[in-house]
Chains A and B, each alone.
Chain A
């Protein structure tokens, strides 16, 4: 008994002494900024206007290097998203082209995209993408918010974090940029956003942090277009279960009243 107690105490001391050198982690990345997105929390919904602006930033800036292969244009008009009008989505899609099937001579047919088509990929394949980007592959952004821990906050921090001054002691390759939010602090993507780079349709001033916020919102929606549906159904399910719980509680109490 004494021995067990001694072991428990020893383990506890060792565990909580938490020697920083032993818990090795060389990463000197910053803590993510938290702009408090409207979609957080159990009742959170996306800010539609921000999603629309976010799509504008994606299509005018990000999409030249990053694809979003899981998304179709029709997603832009479905409930729970940016909710562009159906006509607007047709108009957006028609600006892009796709090779679809072949004609009677076997030559490929090029046509405008329609809402049921996927977003246009920026490169034909991965190698072409690498060749245009100094050998670094710009990842597909469809799921980027789910594929990074603390996704939306991370994207926001990363995009607005290029202005941080680089520590004097640090030296990085010329083809890389300093960004303390990126793992290792040296990122292959050059600063993508500059003030007033985009002219928002709704007149919002396009500061770096505004654009970062909007595009992070848009990517969060793109990673899970069914989020609003999920949370609203969750509320109904939890409500039902809670009533069921109360009924069952009193059933058990009454039933076991005479059993001791």
Chain B
């Protein structure tokens, strides 16, 4: 543990390089000796896992694009060509298809971690907002990728979702035509979705770099939510967190490999192995599992435009989180009331996911409405009220000082005032 360590170039070449382009210094400061809180738990390994998810999707995606044909008459068959004739094509495609699911699984855990430990609070507002931007881009990218398969669910999912844009007053119809490249989902739609599906991951990559940059300005949050005060509170990123993250990644990969090799189609819908047919509508049109909670919110509202607004609103509200929850105590560990509402929210989201896959009628519809109301109430009602009235439980003075802070909740509290 070299607390006061600073990079010093070892030989003549690195000295020469350091004066011109301090590449090694940059890598050292950001990847190796970067001071990281010593108490991070396994929920903090998902940033690393997500970076590798993105890299995996990009590499497999580039290879798939070498063999894929974005044309309505050939797209479906070209994927079967990849599955049957391209060497290890089935492996590349199953990694890419299941990789999208794994990516979303990891991002959901990553976001719920942020929500639990208050990682969006001052000074990490921009870090959080960049994360929400990445999430939004991921949803758009995944949706477009699913359309490329050109199966029944691809086609009808694209039809349903793009039609939502048409609900926007005045400009909706024009935007819809521009999005589709015509008046219905057809070859121009497939072509532009392919183009954008190739472009957006690189945009995501760019925002990820900003996300990591913002992280390295403020430093990591940690399970106590108490700010780092001195070098006793931190350890270097390498080897401690490189090794711990890698361990978590191997666990993640084991689950990933199970899906790829033993159950590659369980997360998809059988109808997507039927080629797209504009004349035959599937019995139930459902999106991929990771979009089901948003789909449930959309269908919970009887009015189309309101449904669309609420669905987008469910993500937009996340941008305002740092100003909706103004409680100084970050971690839910020391917020007993928030903790209850948090877990209720977690259950609500899971329930919304389940409801998104069911027909919107009877009890399912009623539950979707209850859950949708709670989803928004959690952010817009519960958070502001708790910020004002909740009494936090006793917390330690610092990360490596477990003595209880008696001066709780006042501005004199050193643990809380460090950022002020």
Residues of B within 8 A of A234 (CB): 257, 260-262
A109 close to chain B: CB less than 8 A: no
Among B341-375, those with CB < 8 Å from A are 341, 344, 347, 351, 359, 361-364, 366-367, 370, 374
B261→A230 contact, CB < 8 A = yes
A242 close to chain B: CB less than 8 A: yes
**Count of residues in B whose CB is under 8 Å from the partner chain:** 46
User: Contact string, B46-89, partner A, CB cutoff 8 A, digits 1/0?
Assistant: 00000000000000000000000000000001001001100000
Q: Which of B101-109, B115-123, B235-243, B308-316 contacts A (4 or more CB under 8 A)?
A: B235-243
Residue on B with the closest CB to A15? Answer: B367
A241→B261 contact, CB < 8 A = no
Residues of A within 8 A of B235 (CB): 259
B250→A233 contact, CB < 8 A = no
Cα–Cα distance between A258 and B199 once the two chains are bound (Å): 46
Residues of A within 8 A of B359 (CB): 24
Say which residue of A5, A11, A143 sits within 8 Å of B273 (CB atoms): A143
Residues of B within 8 A of A75 (CB): 84
Cα–Cα distance between A260 and B251 once the two chains are bound (Å): 23
Cα–Cα distance between A75 and B257 once the two chains are bound (Å): 27
Residue on B with the closest CB to A233? Answer: B261
Say which residue of B83, B90, B262, B367 sits within 8 Å of A11 (CB atoms): B367
Residues of B within 8 A of A8 (CB): 344, 347
B254 close to chain A: CB less than 8 A: yes
User: Contact string, A247-259, partner B, CB cutoff 8 A, digits 1/0?
Assistant: 0110110011001
Q: Which of A49-57, A145-153, A171-179 contacts B (4 or more CB under 8 A)?
A: A145-153
B38 close to chain A: CB less than 8 A: yes
B37: min CB distance to chain A, Å: 11
Residues of B within 8 A of A70 (CB): 77, 80, 84
A120 close to chain B: CB less than 8 A: no
B22 close to chain A: CB less than 8 A: no
Residues of B within 8 A of A256 (CB): 240, 244
A146→B270 contact, CB < 8 A = yes
A226 close to chain B: CB less than 8 A: yes
Residues of B within 8 A of A1 (CB): 337, 340
A237 close to chain B: CB less than 8 A: yes
B306 close to chain A: CB less than 8 A: no
Residue on A with the closest CB to B340? Answer: A4
A224→B83 contact, CB < 8 A = yes
Say which residue of B38, B80, B337 sits within 8 Å of A142 (CB atoms): B80
A24→B273 contact, CB < 8 A = no
Residues of A within 8 A of B271 (CB): 147
Residues of B within 8 A of A11 (CB): 347, 351, 367, 370
B251→A245 contact, CB < 8 A = yes
Q: A4-B341, A234-B257 are in contact. Are A248 and B370 (CB under 8 A)?
A: no
User: Contact string, B244-261, partner A, CB cutoff 8 A, digits 1/0?
Assistant: 101100110110011011
Say which residue of B265, B283, B367 sits within 8 Å of A14 (CB atoms): B367
Residues of A within 8 A of B274 (CB): 139, 143, 147
Cα–Cα distance between A58 and B370 once the two chains are bound (Å): 52
A42→B344 contact, CB < 8 A = no
Cα–Cα distance between A8 and B344 once the two chains are bound (Å): 7
Among A211-249, those with CB < 8 Å from B are 223-226, 229-231, 233-235, 237-238, 241-242, 244-245, 248-249
Residues of A within 8 A of B283 (CB): 183
User: Contact string, B23-40, partner A, CB cutoff 8 A, digits 1/0?
Assistant: 000000000000000100
A19 close to chain B: CB less than 8 A: yes
B90→A230 contact, CB < 8 A = yes
Residue on A with the closest CB to B336? Answer: A1
Cα–Cα distance between A19 and B240 once the two chains are bound (Å): 53
Cα–Cα distance between A175 and B46 once the two chains are bound (Å): 58
Cα–Cα distance between A244 and B258 once the two chains are bound (Å): 16
Cα–Cα distance between A151 and B270 once the two chains are bound (Å): 9
Residues of A within 8 A of B253 (CB): 241
Cα–Cα distance between A164 and B340 once the two chains are bound (Å): 54
Residues of B within 8 A of A99 (CB): none
Q: A22-B363, A245-B251 are in contact. Are A226 and B83 (CB under 8 A)?
A: yes
Q: A226-B83, A231-B261, A255-B240 are in contact. Are A248 and B246 (CB under 8 A)?
A: yes
A259→B240 contact, CB < 8 A = yes
Among A17-54, those with CB < 8 Å from B are 19, 21-24, 42
Cα–Cα distance between A146 and B283 once the two chains are bound (Å): 17
B264 close to chain A: CB less than 8 A: yes
B273→A147 contact, CB < 8 A = yes
B344→A248 contact, CB < 8 A = no
B91 close to chain A: CB less than 8 A: yes
Most B CB within 10 A of own CB, among A7, A241, A245 = A241
Residue on B with the closest CB to A41? Answer: B262
A220: min CB distance to chain B, Å: 12
A225: min CB distance to chain B, Å: 6
Q: A147-B273, A234-B260 are in contact. Are A7 and B374 (CB under 8 A)?
A: yes
Residue on A with the closest CB to B251? Answer: A245
Residue on A with the closest CB to B38? Answer: A259
Residue on B with the closest CB to A230? Answer: B261
Q: A230-B90, A233-B261, A259-B235 are in contact. Are A252 and B243 (CB under 8 A)?
A: yes
A70: min CB distance to chain B, Å: 5
A242→B273 contact, CB < 8 A = no
Residues of A within 8 A of B38 (CB): 259-260
A146→B351 contact, CB < 8 A = no
Q: A11-B367, A22-B362, A24-B362 are in contact. Are A233 and B91 (CB under 8 A)?
A: yes
What 20 additional pairs, Cβ within 8 angstroms, besides A143-B274, A235-B261, A244-B250?
A: A4-B340, A5-B340, A8-B344, A14-B366, A14-B367, A19-B363, A70-B84, A146-B265, A148-B270, A223-B273, A234-B262, A237-B257, A241-B250, A241-B257, A245-B254, A248-B243, A252-B243, A252-B244, A256-B244, A260-B38
Q: Lowest 3 A-B CB distances belong to which pairs? A: A234-B261, A147-B273, A248-B247
